[in-house]
Amino acid sequence: MNFTSKHYDMKRKTIYRSLFLFGTLALVSILFQLCKPKGPAEVTTGNAASQAYVAPGKYDEFYNFVSGGFNGQMNVYGLPSGRLFRIIPVFSEDPTSGYGFSEETKPMLNTSHGYVPWDDLHHPALSTTNGEHDGRWVFGNANNTPRVARIDLKTFRTAEIIELPNSGGNHSSPFITENTEYVVAGTRFSVPMGDKTDVPISTYKENFKGTISFISVGKEDGKMKIAFQIKTPGVNFDLARAGKGPSHGWFFFSCYNTEQAYTLLEVNSTQKDKDFIMAVNWKKAEEYLAAGKGEKAKAKYVHNWYDEKTHTATSEMLNEVMQLDPTVLKDMVYFIPCPKSPHGCDTDPSGEYIVGSGKLAALIPVFSFTKIQQAIASKEFEGDFGGIPVIKYEAALHGEVKKPGLGPLHTEFDANGNAYTSFFVSSEIVKWNVKSLEVLDRVPTYYSIGHLCVPGGPTRKPHGKYVIAYNKITKDRYLSTGPELTQSAQLYDISGDKMKLILDFPTTGEPHYAEAIPASLVMPNSVKIFKIEDNNHPYVAKGESKTNVERKGNQVHISMTAIRSHLTPDNIEGVKLGDEVYFHVTNLEQDWDVPHGFAIKGANNAELLIMPGETQTLKWKPLTTGVFPFYCTDFCSALHQEMQGYIRVSPANSNIPIKFSTGKTEAPAGATGSK
């Protein structure tokens, strides 16, 4: 019995011990599990929802002009709601509005390479006066076939596009000077230019050159013209910012590939410890130009503009461009060493500090404009690059932000002397003080932020309040839509000491840079209708009695009107196979938000969307005989579905005369027959 009871005791002890051991193990593993870093499923805290909430019928405080990237367009959002209002067609055709399809808008997309239906828009730049946003225009760059566009903020339409000769990949663009004197365009790819363009690629160092174009902007009408190009050694230009305040008159460009590699840049252009920021004294360039020191170079490029009175675009081919050579014309261009392949190159609101973001660097150098001027005056150069003086790094440096994060890309500013830098690799925004260079705060972004935007951030008077992250990777942030996901932006409140995520919102195309401007600077100027009296389109019909169908050889021109709820004429006969039919449709409405659309069966182009008082033309070439329906595509009224018509196409050899009408009913031809 004793034995058994002892045995029993021992057994019990063993059980207790095992239980204890098991319990401890379980506890430890639970604790370990708790210590495991959590995923990025960050939720917003506090009153975030109410901060981003704009009640139905209420307006957003800011417009956010967001580049569409590879959709080639400019996207307009409201902040803080993140609601998408409009996609402005700029460099890509848009079947919705007929942009690039209508006869009037086709010339907008003309280039020296012919009609180009697509491009890649990376950077918007809002026009400024005295270094502050004035709400007149927003500029955008075409990255692929180098161009700059000007969008009129009265109409939210592309008003003008200018092509850039001697450029390959217009990435360092369209940054602007304090009073919108110039919009710049720096080439990403250096290319052979002039008479010698058919050269071996391996002769990069010898034959390839870069250019920086200064496009002047008309003070009143905004008309763009390439004032001059500065020829540079062959490198890649990335981004740029104009000086402001004390540094007004200067422009700063980041450049990489100073190794002058022409293949496998991933390796070959990342060898040097430092590349450059190129400082351009454009006031000096103006002086040289005025003194006749420029050289006229042959070039082929187009200039397209849209006339709001004729509602028609014109494309003009230009044949020469003025160039300045900084190796001959001294004191105009300087290089400043900047660590590892600088991407962003941003000037702070005071105009004194220039922030270079070496995308492979582990620090952020901040240069001082005063020190740059002193270094130039006392000739503190470490040598030259391609005949252009290189200022000593330390001589130009205000200081370095130490260990800010990995992969700094871009910097924006608030009104309190703080900078916000985006970090692609460490996927975060870091707030730091421009003067003290001290890191103040950091927040994660989801995921891998590219550009960022503070309302008024690039101006002399930032509005602050928010910073928006435009991310390169979306992954699990939204409902999944197959392998191709939505693009993503995130809104952070920066009114306090700590940055606070308050909203995720999806974006279209790929968002690169964006700018935000108070709605009060833009909305009051918004055009509601085009005045029909001012319409000077050659085929306008200012009233139904002015409608017409006219044959000119094998072209048939139809001056048609649209008003709720009919098209005039809506019965058209006498068109023959082989004819080209032009529907010139005038929207007679003079009321806000009453567009009419026009579409015809079998059209090989698109529809028209015609605003009140406007005339647009759709070209249509019927391929078979028969009767073809056309109709209004924009639900305009209670009788929209009645807004339709027919056009008859007869054989080429028929002798049916041109005939057109609306509201006229005839006895059918067969009904009066014999009986």
Per-residue contact track with another protein, 612 to 651, x per CB under 8 A? -------------------------xxx--x---------
Q: How far is the CB of 661 from another protein (least distance, A)?
A: 17
CB of 62 to another protein, least distance (A): 23
Q: Nearest approach, Cβ of 555 to another protein (angstroms)?
A: 33
The smaller minimum CB distance to another protein, of residues 57 and 383, is found at 57
- CA nearest to 143, candidates 123, 115, 129: 123
By beta-carbon proximity to another protein, the closer residue of 3 and 592 is 592
- Nearest distance from C-beta of residue 515 to another protein, angstroms: 29
Query: In terms of CB distance, is 225 or 664 closer to another protein?
Result: 664
Q: How many chain residues bind another protein (CB under 8 A)?
A: 10
Work out how close the CB of 56 gets to another protein at its nearest, in angstroms, rounded to a whole number. 13
Binding letters toward another protein, positions 510-549, x by CB under 8 A: ----------------------------------------
Whichever of 374 and 565 has its CB closer to another protein, that residue is 565
Binding mask 311-350 for another protein (x = CB under 8 A): ----------------------------------------
Backbone angles phi, psi at 131, to 5 degrees: 80, 10
CA distance 343 to 239: 6
Residue 266, helix vs strand vs coil: helix
Site for another protein in 237-296 (CB under 8 A): none
Subset of residues 549 to 608 that bind another protein, contact rule: CB under 8 A: 563-565, 589-591
Please report, as residue ranges, which positions from 417 to 436 form the binding site for another protein (by CB under 8 A).
none
In three-state form (DSSP H/G/I as H, E/B as E, the rest C), the secondary structure along 133-159 is: EEEEEEEEEECCCCEEEEEECCCCEEE
Instruction: Quickly tell me which residue has 């848009």 as its tokens.
Output: 94
At 376 the three-state DSSP class reads helix
Q: How far is the CB of 186 from another protein (least distance, A)?
A: 46
Q: Which is nearer to another protein, 16 or 635 (CB)?
A: 635
Of 304 and 568, the one with the shorter C-beta distance to another protein is 568
Nearest residue to 447 (alpha-carbon basis) of 493, 478, 416: 478
Q: Minimum distance from CB of 634 to another protein (Å)?
A: 15
Residues 455, 464: Cα–Cα separation, whole Å: 6
Which two tokens mark 664? 């006229």
Q: How far is the CB of 70 from another protein (least distance, A)?
A: 37
Q: Which two tokens stand for residue 10?
A: 């021992």
Minimum distance between the CB of residue 547 and another protein, rounded to whole angstroms? 18
Q: Does the footprint of another protein cover residue 662 (CB under 8 A)?
A: no
Q: Strands (DSSP E) along 147-288, which ranges?
A: 147-152, 157-163, 182-186, 191-192, 208-217, 224-233, 236-242, 250-256, 274-281
Question: CB-based burial of residue 220 (10 Å sphere; 0-12 exposed, 13-18 middle, 19+ buried)?
Answer: exposed
Q: What is the smallest separation between the CB atom of 510 and another protein, expressed in angstroms?
A: 37
Q: Name the pairing type of β-strands 157-163 and 147-152.
A: antiparallel
**Is the CA virtual torsion 636, 639, 642, 647 positive or negative?**
negative
Closest to another protein by CB, 437 vs 594, is 594
Cα four-point dihedral sign 450, 455, 459, 461: negative
Q: Which is nearer to another protein, 174 or 612 (by Cβ)? A: 612
Residues 6+ positions from 457 with CB-CB distance below 8 Å? 412, 413, 414, 420, 467, 515, 516
CA distances to 25, 96, 330, 350, 411 from 443, rounded to whole Å, are 36, 39, 45, 26, 15
**Of 129-148, which residues contact another protein (CB under 8 A)?**
none
For residue 130, count other CB atoms closer than 10 A to its CB.
13
Nearer to another protein, 272 or 640 (CB): 640
**Is 45 or 545 the residue whose CB approaches another protein more closely?**
545
Residues near another protein (CB under 8 A) are 563-565, 589-591, 637-639, 642
